[in-house]
Amino acid sequence: MNIKSLSAALIMLAAFTIMAACGKRDRQAGDFTAAELAMIHESDSIMRVLTIDAPSDLAVLRSLSYDLSDSALLSDDFKRLAELMVATVTHPSQDGVGIAGPQVGLNRRIVAVQRFDKEGEPFEVYPNVRILWASDSLATGPEGCLSVPDRRGEVLRSQEIVIEYADMTGVAQSRQGIRLKSRGCAKPVPMVRDTVSGFTAVIFQHEVDHLDGVLYIDRLR
């Protein structure tokens, strides 16, 4: 084999290695399934909120949720889901302060939370979210849940937490240009951390519980 042939073979091997790595990453995190896509695009202006009263709903609410791949996060499908979740939780029929993927039928690690700790108290969407740390400073407060109608109870929660999530800031530009190539793969969505305290921290804990199949009624004192 001459030098030119050897170089070509090495380039091809590197390309196949990169393609395999990119594909493996997406499969590990998970793209939207066909059923999930149908649920997202068949919804009109809001999504149906699952409740513990229906056995089939309860099965979803009690299941673990999984991350979305970068390709899913950068898709129009994710944008549509995020918009629907915010529209659902803010709808007069719900009037909530937070909602999680399982509550609208998707076992995905995504929540929409009202940030009472920010100016204007906006609703923000957090995909692939986890709580990395919770303080030992605890307080008991009243909680309710869109998926547990007509009930409230006292729950003990940490007053400060550190969350980690996929940062979609700037993804608007990425949607035209985020697929900047980095070693042959789409540029990954960065993971960032945030320290949250007070009532907003309580909301995050409530919603992240949903992603682990836990309901606030499991924590009633």
Distance CA 185, CA 149 (A): 45
**CA dist list (Å): 35 to 42, 87, 105, 120, 147:** 10, 21, 10, 36, 21
At 17, give phi and psi (nearest 5°).
Answer: -65, -45
Q: Which of 83, 121, 124, 207 is catalytic?
A: 207
Buried b (16+ CB within 10 A) or exposed e, 97-114: bbbbbbbbbbbbbbbbbb
**163 near 130, Cβ under 8 Å?**
yes
143 is catalytic: no
Question: What are the tokens at 97?
Answer: 């302060």
**Which of helix, strand or coil describes residue 139?**
strand
Question: What are the tokens at 59?
Answer: 């099965």
**How would you classify residue 163: left for phi > 0, otherwise alpha for psi between -120 and 50, otherwise beta?**
beta
Kindly list the catalytic residues: 207
